[in-house]
Amino acid sequence: MELVASNKVVGGWHKRYRHASQTTQCDMTFAIFLPETANSGKQVPVLYWLSGLTCTDENFMQKAGAFKIANELGIAIVAPDTSPRGENVPDDEHTAYDFGLGAGFYLNATQPPYHTHYQMYDYVVKELPNLIENHFPVSKARAISGHSMGGHGALTLGLRNATRYSSISAFSPIVHPSACPWGIKALSGYLGDDKTHWQNHDAVLLIKNKQYARPLPMLVSQGTADNFLEEQLQPWHLQKVATEQNYPLQLEMCDGYDHSYFFIASYIEKHLKFHAKHF
């Protein structure tokens, strides 16, 4: 790993690293916040944060205001990039913001030319945690969270890997990608037009079909002033299926909040305390 940047903050450390990924077959960048307790040698639990469309590891770390409460709770935070990148990594032919670079959707692509590099599911679930747990003073206690496309990732990766995580949370997630424009474009582009291959990447369908090892505590926060609410996010689908299947979902509609990091900064303390209860 190559250390790209290091900043002391609230007594802990924020660091960025670059490494050659065997999973995505390109260099990947991630950021990690280590609380003071980790610097004293104590192993700490980890929250994996998955960011949304167009983001990198830097968006959450610079805008969420999470470090103070994470330090108080003794939680490390790991934020990977949202897609593979590099000269040889294919992008959307029209350079659209919602597909290709910055829009990996946390799945393993099967369709060329994306299948070689866009293996974000395996990267986040397997390679990155192995790297973190082998090089930093962290325990195997893990939680997962994210925003928008990253909220979709947190829900689907958490549901499919319930033995690897203790809790799931999301801000403004894409809950039913099989039924919204962002999701349909991504799932068809990365996985093909056979919709049976989409089901493992749709939180609503995973809960409906009971495709999880065990139910995990799940917190979802959604702003009522989000301009993507009606067309792309549609949290009522998640609420409906969770009620039908008796899944432990806590969905909160937050009056007046939009899709931005102002919303995340307002509720991140609640989410971190939620995960701290379940480690």
Catalytic amino acids?
148, 226, 259
- Does residue 30 sit in helix, strand or coil? strand
Distances (CA, A) of 82 to 1, 27, 100, 127, 155: 19, 13, 10, 15, 15
Evaluate whether 144 touches 158 at the Cβ level (below 8 Å): yes
Exposed, middle or buried: residue 5 (CB in 10 Å: 0-12, 13-18, 19+)? Answer: exposed
- Does residue 217 sit in helix, strand or coil? coil
Exposed, middle or buried: residue 188 (CB in 10 Å: 0-12, 13-18, 19+)? Answer: middle
Side-chain half-sphere CA neighbours of 224 within 13 A: 5
**Count of C-beta atoms within a 10 Å radius of residue 214:** 6
